Amino acid sequence: MEQTWTPRPKPDRAERLERRIEFGDYGATRAFLEQLNDLSEQLGRYPDISFGRTYVNLTLRPEPEQQLIGPEDEAFAAAIDALCPAAPPADGGP
């Protein structure tokens, strides 16, 4: 199940953002990871990543470290969101 960004440990004191993104197959997962690599190189920001054949788990930490999530981190999360394929409609329609 795909999720939105989740602040951890608490929304009002977020030290990191986490998100899981699921894909239909390995090709889609790999394509996303390649786009994420390009974005990360462009911005000089690198999330923590773990992945499997059809999913990617991301963790964003603030830069510099030891701070709380701020607007720059939220902008990076939004840029990652823009790379995600649109989810199919819940009713299965076009």
Of the candidates 64, 84, 65, 67, the one whose C-alpha atom is nearest the C-alpha of residue 5 is 84
Give the number of other Cβ atoms within 10 Å of residue 56's Cβ.
Answer: 20
Mean pLDDT score, 70-92 = 79
pTM of the model as a whole:
0.83
pLDDT at 18: 96
pLDDT at 2: 60
Task: Work out the mean pLDDT of the chain and round it to a whole number.
Answer: 87
pLDDT at 1: 45
Chain centroid to CA 13? 19
Mean pLDDT score, 12-38 = 94
How many residues in the chain? 94
Read off the pLDDT of residues 32-56 as tens digits, 9 standing for 90 and up. 999 999 999 999 999 999 999 999 9
Query: pLDDT at residue 85 above 90?
Result: no
